């Protein structure tokens, strides 16, 4: 019943709910949003850190970035859930605005809430920062008389919910949430990468190599993010 209600309400604000005509970029396609063994949508990004970087200093820089995140103009709520200097692990809860369209006549946006975890560590002789985004939920059209509609990433942006039957096109009501959430995570994980992986002068010209690790109950695979900006991307 909830999904039927949500779809009906979205139909009022978005006349066409079926599909976008443009091809789907691979970064948004089937498999780009995966579900972990607990049935929850999970984004994971491993950021390689140069061997010359001190991990404790790296952790402190990420902590500074996290606290600064709370003051960003598009962030409406922020809370530091846990901070452990010994294990170099930080978890925060953020609520922020995601804007789909903003013109003189139309503003289409949602609030998105999510947990972010940063874990700075060394494994098999390699230093890295693992960024994880989980517990994603949305509050859409909150200015309506009924207070808007809320739903989770599991209900809205998975392969089963975001595409048409043949998974060749996005549904307009759900596809835009998938696109913006993927963009949001990519941009967020880029920011602590620059802050944490500070390089010595000898290595200053060589940026850390980044790959996204998408984990599913069945397999884990590594996919580099494509270079350049996508037409759908906007700042988080």
Q: Which residues are registered as beta bridge partners of 83?
A: 90
Residue 233 lies in a domain: no
Cβ proximity of 77 and 95 under 8 Å: yes
Torsion of CA 154, 8, 144, 169, to 10 degrees: 50
Residue 203 lies in a domain: yes
| 206 pLDDT higher than 70 | no
pLDDT for 109-138, tens place per residue? 999 999 999 999 999 999 999 999 999 999
Residue 119 lies in a domain: yes
Q: Give the domain range for residue 10.
A: 2-223
pLDDT for 39-65, tens place per residue? 999 999 999 999 999 999 999 999 998
For position 106, which CATH number holds? 3.30.530.80
pLDDT for 211-222, tens place per residue? 444 343 333 333
What pLDDT does 196 receive?
A: 62
Tokens of residue 79, six digits: 């809370």
**pLDDT (average), residues 18-38:** 82
Half-sphere exposure of 180 (CA within 13 A, CB side): 26
Cβ proximity of 6 and 139 under 8 Å: no
CA 15 to chain centre: 27
SS3 181: helix
Residue 27 lies in a domain: yes
What pLDDT does 236 receive?
A: 53
Among residues 134, 131, 151, the alpha carbon closest in space to that of 142 is found at: 151
SS3 172: helix
**Strand 75-84 to 149-152 pairing:** unpaired
pLDDT top residue among 195 and 49: 49
Report d(CA 78, CA 121) in Å as an integer. 25
What pLDDT does 21 receive?
A: 52
> Looking at the 3D structure of the chain, how many domains does it have?
1
Cβ proximity of 5 and 149 under 8 Å: yes
**Strand 149-152 to 210-215 pairing:** unpaired
What pLDDT does 126 receive?
A: 93
CB atoms within 10 A of CB 57: 12
């Amino acid at each position: 019943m909830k999904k039927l209600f949500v779809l009906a309400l979205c139909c009022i604000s978005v006349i066409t709910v079926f599909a976008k005509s443009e091809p789907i970029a691979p970064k948004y396609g089937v498999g780009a949003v995966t579900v972990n063994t607990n049935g929850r949508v999970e984004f994971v990004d491993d950021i390689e850190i140069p061997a010359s970087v001190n991990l404790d200093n790296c952790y402190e820089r990420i902590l500074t970035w996290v606290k600064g995140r709370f003051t960003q103009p598009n962030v409406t709520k922020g809370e530091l859930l846990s901070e452990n200097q010994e294990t170099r692990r930080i978890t925060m809860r953020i609520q922020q605005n995601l804007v789909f369209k903003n013109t003189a006549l139309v503003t289409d946006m949602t609030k998105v809430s999510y947990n972010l975890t940063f874990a700075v560590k060394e494994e098999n002789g390699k230093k890295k920062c693992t960024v994880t985004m989980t517990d994603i939920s949305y509050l859409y059209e909150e200015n309506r008389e009924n207070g808007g509609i809320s739903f989770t990433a599991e209900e809205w942006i998975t392969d089963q919910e975001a595409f048409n039957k043949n998974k060749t096109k996005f549904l307009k009501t759900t596809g835009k949430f998938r696109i913006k959430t993927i963009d949001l995570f990519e941009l967020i994980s880029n920011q602590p990468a620059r802050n944490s992986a500070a390089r010595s002068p000898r290595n200053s010209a060589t940026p850390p190599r980044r790959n996204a690790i998408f984990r599913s109950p069945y397999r884990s695979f590594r996919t580099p993010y494509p270079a350049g900006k996508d037409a759908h991307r906007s700042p988080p």
